[in-house]
Amino acid sequence: MEDFHIDFAVLLTAATLLTGIGWALNKWVLAPRRAAGVPPNALVDFCQSFFPVIAAVLLLRSFVAEPFRIPSGSMIPTLLVGDFILVNKFAYGLRDPAFHTKFFANGAPARGDIVVFRYPRDPRQDYIKRIIGLPGDQIVYKDKRLTINGQAMAQEPDGAFPVQGPHSAGVVYRLQEDLGGVHHHVLVDPDRPTDDFEFTVPAGQYFAMGDNRDGSSDSRVWGTVPERNLVGKAFFIWMSWDSVRTRVDFSRIGTVIK
């Protein structure tokens, strides 16, 4: 019960239950008793019309794929502000949409997965980060480089990335990182101090970081992600809105997220 809160998923579940009751009541009780040619009242008609639609939306959103919008720059350069993504809700098992209780197990996050999860400090908020540490992993972050279980994650320079903000001279370095076989880009800002740390990931928890290493509030700040907070795996960009140029960025539409 402590994780229960009123959000869209809860409201959608309630709407499905209420309209479903009305639909079933009409089908098996009211309709057989109604005189031929007499239409149902407005409430019954509403339930008949909208129950199948609401139920379909609930099933797709809860158990297949759910859309999200990227609101911040913590995952730059992989994901940009204004990207609209799809999240695979089946990747890490199925949960009921209201209480988030897992009823079907189906795999677990792998190192390098980009995951949407309920923010541990406020489960009403959804966060997206890359999984860096699995349960039991020893994570060391020093001089803006990762070492996992004693193995340094290789980084190769890959140009610069222009940014705007108070903590940068207008450019940061883009690096290609090999995260145990998962190759992806990260940003590091040479003007920002390194918050070095060493940490062992507890059982049932995951260590998550943003690809924008010096511009992300992540497990380095608020701790690990409990398994029960997982929502799904990000896999596809279906729309991207460039707020600077105020136009759709067609070059990003259809991108598979890695």
- Would you please indicate which residues are annotated as catalytic (active-site) residues? 74, 129
Cross-strand bridge partners of residue 157: 175
- Cα 165 from Cα 33, distance rounded (Å): 69
H, E, C per residue of the chain: CCCCCCCHHHHHHHHHHHHHHHHHHHHHHHHHHCCCCCCCCHHHHHHHHHHHHHHHHHHHHHHCEEEEECCCCCCCCCCCCCEEEEEECCCCCEECCCCCCEEECCCCCCCCCEEEEECCCCCCCEEEEEEEECCCCEEEEECCEEEECCEECCEEEEEEEECCCCCCCCEEEEEEEEECCEEEEEEECCCCCCCCEEEECCCCEEEEECCECCCCCCHHHHCCEEHHHEEEEEEEEEEEEECCCCEECCCCCCCECC
